[in-house]
Structure 1
Amino acid sequence: MTKRTESKYKINRRLGMNLWGRPKSPLNKRDYGPGQHGQRRKKPTDFGIQLMAKQRLKGYYGNIGERQFRRYYQEAVRRKGDTSENLIELLERRLDTVCYRMKFAITPFAARQLVNHGHVLVNGKRVTIPSYLVKDGDVIELREKSKQLAVVLDAAQSTERDVPEYLEVDHRAMRGRYLRAPKLADVPYPVQMEPNQVIEFYSR
């Protein structure tokens, strides 16, 4: 089960954007924050801008826990190259993210649940850890019994999103391959993400 027990779309109103680009987002009708003070507008501080960037990125990936998200930052710093690009690469290598990108699930939350419930195979072996990091060339597919699930078929046929170029997918076989790690510019975010602000937030 997803860790997010309350309405997942509340985060859209709190952040003031349609985070997943979905037509059912309440932000499409009420483009202000939740609660009695939701319509107040304050000019954000530098800290506020960085915090919002972190909450936006963290929330987009199914609301990853703070401790785990900080670990991704620490790993991104440890690796060679641009830290913000490294952070995006780590998040995009998560198995639940890959399932979402391949359109095996309609939302990141549904993708996490798909992995948790044992529907996903990586190179022929069942993996039930959503945070499992996929490697270049790995083959991700659904178990035979899971390929005809209504939620899976609905997601595969959805026109809300396209499969990005760093993945290849055969929706008839419900099988795909992780070709390469993406750069920030390759990732089809429906809203602007600022991983550099996230890095600044954690490096204070």
Structure 2
Amino acid sequence: MSKRESTKYKLDRRMGENIWGRPKSPVNRREYGPGQHGQRRKGKLSDFGVQLRAKQKLKGYYGDISEKQFRKTFDEAARRKGDTPDLLIGLLESRLDAMVYRSKFVPTIFAARQFVNHGHVKVNGQRVNIPSYRLKEGDVVEIREKSKQLALVIEATQLAERDVPDYLEVDHSKMTSKYVRVPSLSDVPYPVMMEPNLVVEFYSR
């Protein structure tokens, strides 16, 4: 699908966790890192290393978005009033590609980015092809009519491995999804524990 589609499981191996909860993840069979020295990389991480790993895991979960884009999102969360870790998660979850993935319109976050890029998605009736497009409460995302019968869309809606979170109202018969509210960390169904507080510490050094 995207340039990371064929190598996305390397992120799982590098982190030592099944980040997206996919049944085919190699971490389910071997928890050590990739490469010939992977089995020897078990040393204790420094505080910096722990913070860096938390950042890489969160950034990777959303399709391994660029450092520039991720830092920009963090800076916006830090400027707002409230709990910065929760605000960071809320901003990441309000991305259009994240919502397409959460709504189970596509099977992976990487597919979601390409799906949006290729113009298969509308927001409030208008075609949008920017994966990082920021959604607001009440926005309605829909799959374009000619895209509803694509094989990956049909496959994704039938996936049993993940549920649609309650901050979205999804109608798979119409292929629409409404962004009901901005979630906090506890609302988001991550398959593994995310630690945005460590991301805050990393950027606050």
Which TM-score applies when normalising by structure 1? 0.98
Alignment-derived partner of residue 113 in structure 2: 112
Q: Distance in 1 between matches of 2:6 and 2:172?
A: 32
Alignment-derived partner of residue 67 in structure 1: 68
* Cα-to-partner distance string for 1:26-68 (whole Å, 9 max, x where unaligned): 1111210011111121001000000000000000000000011
Alignment-derived partner of residue 35 in structure 2: 35
Structure 1 residue 2 displacement after superposition:
2.9
SS in 1 for 2:14: helix
**1:15 corresponds to which letter in structure 2?**
M
Q: Does 1:129 align with 2:140?
A: no
- Say if 1:151 and 1:14 are closer, same or farther in 2 by CA, change over 3 A: same
Q: Does 1:172 align with 2:182?
A: no
Alignment-derived partner of residue 59 in structure 2: 58
Q: Does 1:200 align with 2:201?
A: yes
Q: Distance in 2 between matches of 1:198 and 1:3?
A: 25
**1:100 corresponds to which letter in structure 2?**
Y
Alignment-derived partner of residue 186 in structure 1: 187
Identity fraction in percent: 67
Q: Distance in 2 between matches of 1:30 and 1:187?
A: 27
**2:149 corresponds to which letter in structure 1?**
Q
Q: Distance in 2 between matches of 1:175 and 1:14?
A: 35
Q: Distance in 1 between matches of 2:179 and 2:140?
A: 7
Alignment-derived partner of residue 83 in structure 2: 82
**Number of aligned positions between the proteins:** 204
Q: Distance in 2 between matches of 1:128 and 1:3?
A: 17
Q: Distance in 1 between matches of 2:192 and 2:35?
A: 23
Where structure 2 has 5 or more consecutive residues not aligned to the other structure, the ranges are none
Alignment-derived partner of residue 2 in structure 2: 2
SS in 1 for 2:169: strand
Q: Distance in 2 between matches of 1:57 and 1:5?
A: 17
Which TM-score applies when normalising by structure 2? 0.97
* Cα-to-partner distance string for 1:5-27 (whole Å, 9 max, x where unaligned): 65111110000000000011111
Q: In angstroms, what is the RMSD of aligned CA positions?
A: 1.0
- Say if 1:151 and 1:5 are closer, same or farther in 2 by CA, change over 3 A: closer
SS in 1 for 2:199: helix
Alignment-derived partner of residue 147 in structure 2: 146
8 Å contact from structure 2 (residues 5, 110) kept in 1: no
